[in-house]
Chain A
Amino acid sequence: MSQTISSAKRNGGLLSNENRRKITWVLFLLPALIIYLTFMAGPLFDSLRLSLYTGEGYNPTKFVGFQNYIDLFTNPLWREKFFGAVRHTFIFFGIHMIVQNSLGLLFANLLSFDFKGRNFFRTIIFTPATLSVLVTGFLWTLILNPNWGAVNKILIAVGLREWALPWLGRENLALPIISLTSVWQWVGMPTVMFLAGLTGISDELLEAARIDGATEWDIFWRIKFPLLKPVIGIVAILTFVDNFNAFDVIYAMAGAKGEPSYSTDLLATLFYRTGIAGEHPVGIPNMGMGAAIATITFLILMSGVLFWLYMSRRNSEEA
């Protein structure tokens, strides 16, 4: 009905009504599309292309095929740092996945009960997520300072002098400690997401289980946890995507070189040094190689996302 009226009204132009509507929609989409293509999608795909080139500074113009990749995987100059960065990135992500998301699940479960002050606690848990990662990182470097930092002062005050370690100065400690700092900042995210999932579970179901004598422990593992599976999937993939690209917290706490001696070097810091800042002392970026590192990061991310899509589709088909 409405269509015939409007077409009658607009009849008489050079364009058919259908085409005119099409043009209107395209005009609505065009600004977003141009910006998105020029400054996001385009550069992403062009970076894939650039990974096949080499050249000093800003002009990687010499085509070298897969040489950058071959160097990354086999050349001793690159191999060690590259595989180190991949390993550290997985550890960094793994600590978030396990510690941050378990804590988030715990907090969400506690907050899902109706009690005084739950909004207050939720607000506090989420607070660090509004800080800049850089500020968090710098703040914790001061707190973890071996001589003057609060952590070691407290440890010494309670008689645990031998526990007062140079937290960011030891190769085996720095990466887990930095990861935990980041967990401190971001644990509010999974907490809120899980909380949203838990509030969706019907109260009658939980009440019925309680009347049947189930403990809260049973209820959590037998009822809530299985029902939360889709949310757990979303939290997992977001944790993966967010942390696989982490840079700021390492830069703030361990510098662009992932001190001490590259033990906290992630793919993003390696990417920065190689493709953008240029490795000291030369200081000239190797953009082709940087693009290759970005491409590998991209491929790892894509396989993670595709795996998640496959799993969530399979799970929803089963349900």
Chain B
Amino acid sequence: MRRIKINQALSYILLTVWSVIVLFPIWTLLINSFKPQKEIFKDPFGFPKNFTFDGYIAAWKTGRFDLYFTNSLIVTVLSLTLILLVGSMAAYALAKWKSPAANFLYVFFIAGLMIPIRLGTIDLVRLIKALNLQDTIWSLIPVYVAMGMPIATFVLTAFIKELPNEMFDAAKVDGASEWQVYSRIVLPLMRPALATVAIFNMIKIWNDFWFPLVFIRAEEARTVALGVSLLFGQYRTDWTRALAVLSLAAVPMLILYILLAREFIKGLTAGAVKG
């Protein structure tokens, strides 16, 4: 019994130490973003004494964060909607169409889990230019939808395959078309799996920096990630502003994570952990 107690104490200590290592940087980021520069350097770990919103005001005024947020929001919401719609339709066919073609396409789609889309960037840059989409947020959406297909087909096909066959047969006997079965039966049942896919892609898309960096220069089309990188460069020596910018970028996802921790963890590990 004593051994178990020691083990338990040790595991508490280890986990607590790591928790401090995780939380401490995030905590100092948030509290210092409300301090004037001098106080950050003098007293980096205490609560703010000379409370200030200067950093946030600067980020909003010179940085146009409202615009970046709107852009990121539009891109994320539209991409997610398309991923879920297009991906679930494909998954339904991949799960229910018994044919060599479907098997081949399934492998073809999930192969994308192992091959990062970024390796095709050279060609994507040329394609986006040819479509005249560079410097707009519309350049990002088709790329993100394509990027979401492997995980969507992987998770959703597996989910549909687990659904009992009798359900589909019964619907067919009643004369329902495939489209009706998909939209009235499969889609509503699939909600938990759709949530997993949505969260996985939401984090990837909201946090993506590579494609905005490659496709976008114009201020009107900047996303949060791109805005953060440019502003952080400008504010490198003004820590109040730099920290405010980083906080603005981090806080939305952090709040969502605190509210939906279980779903987030499930979503982000969807490629590897079943169920």
- Which residues of A pack against B, CB within 8 Å? 2, 5-6, 9, 21-22, 24-26, 28-29, 31-33, 35-36, 38-44, 46-47, 50, 58, 103, 106-107, 110-111, 113, 115, 121-135, 138-140, 142-143, 148, 150, 153, 184, 188-189, 192-193, 196, 215-216, 234-235, 237-238, 241, 245, 247-248, 251-252, 268, 271, 275-276, 287, 290-291, 294-295, 297-298, 301-302, 305
Q: Is B273 interfacial (CB-CB < 8 Å)?
A: yes
> Which 7 pairs from chain A and chain B are nearest by CB?
A43-B120, A32-B90, A39-B146, A132-B207, A43-B123, A28-B93, A40-B146
Q: Is B172 interfacial (CB-CB < 8 Å)?
A: yes
Contacting pair A44 B119 (CB below 8 A):
yes
Given contacts A32-B109, A33-B90, A43-B127, 4 further A-B contacts (CB under 8 A): A39-B124, A275-B121, A294-B121, A298-B119
Selected contact of B246 from candidates A139, A188, A301, CB within 8 Å: A139
A5 to B169, CA, bound (A): 11
Contacting pair A58 B273 (CB below 8 A):
no
Q: Is B59 interfacial (CB-CB < 8 Å)?
A: no
Selected contact of A58 from candidates B129, B250, B269, CB within 8 Å: B129
Q: List 19 A-B contacts (CB under 8 A).
A: A2-B169, A5-B173, A28-B89, A31-B86, A33-B105, A36-B112, A39-B127, A39-B146, A40-B149, A43-B121, A58-B126, A130-B253, A131-B207, A132-B207, A132-B228, A135-B228, A150-B44, A237-B114, A245-B119
A287 to B125, CA, bound (A): 10
Contacting pair A106 B209 (CB below 8 A):
no
Closest to A215 in B: B3
Which A residues lie within 8 Å of B264 (CB)? 126, 130
* With known contacts A5-B173, A130-B254, A235-B272, A40–B117 Cβ distance under 8 A: yes
User: Which residues of B in the span 73-122 have a Cβ within 8 Å of any Cβ on A?
Assistant: 82, 85-87, 89-90, 92-94, 96-97, 99, 102, 105, 108-109, 112, 114-122
A44 to B214, CA, bound (A): 16
* With known contacts A113-B11, A135-B249, A142–B121 Cβ distance under 8 A: no
Q: Is B143 interfacial (CB-CB < 8 Å)?
A: yes
Contacting pair B142 A35 (CB below 8 A):
yes
Which A residues lie within 8 Å of B40 (CB)? 148
Which B residues lie within 8 Å of A245 (CB)? 116, 118-119
Interface range on chain B (Cβ under 8 Å from partner): 35 or more
Contacting pair B149 A36 (CB below 8 A):
yes
Contacting pair B126 A131 (CB below 8 A):
no
Closest to A143 in B: B25
What DSSP secondary structure best describes chain B's contact surface? helix
Selected contact of B265 from candidates A126, A132, A216, CB within 8 Å: A126
Contacting pair A124 B22 (CB below 8 A):
yes
Which A residues lie within 8 Å of B207 (CB)? 131-134
Q: Is B175 interfacial (CB-CB < 8 Å)?
A: yes
- Which residues of B pack against A, CB within 8 Å? 3, 7-8, 11-12, 14-15, 18-19, 21-26, 28-29, 40-41, 44-45, 82, 85-87, 89-90, 92-94, 96-97, 99, 102, 105, 108-109, 112, 114-127, 129, 142-143, 145-147, 149, 153, 169, 172-173, 175, 177-179, 182, 203, 206-207, 209-210, 213-214, 224-225, 228-229, 232, 239, 242-243, 246, 249-250, 253-254, 256-257, 261, 264-265, 268-269, 271-273
Which B residues lie within 8 Å of A193 (CB)? 269, 272-273
Contacting pair B90 A189 (CB below 8 A):
no
Which B residues lie within 8 Å of A291 (CB)? 122-123
A243 to B109, CA, bound (A): 21
Contacting pair A107 B86 (CB below 8 A):
no
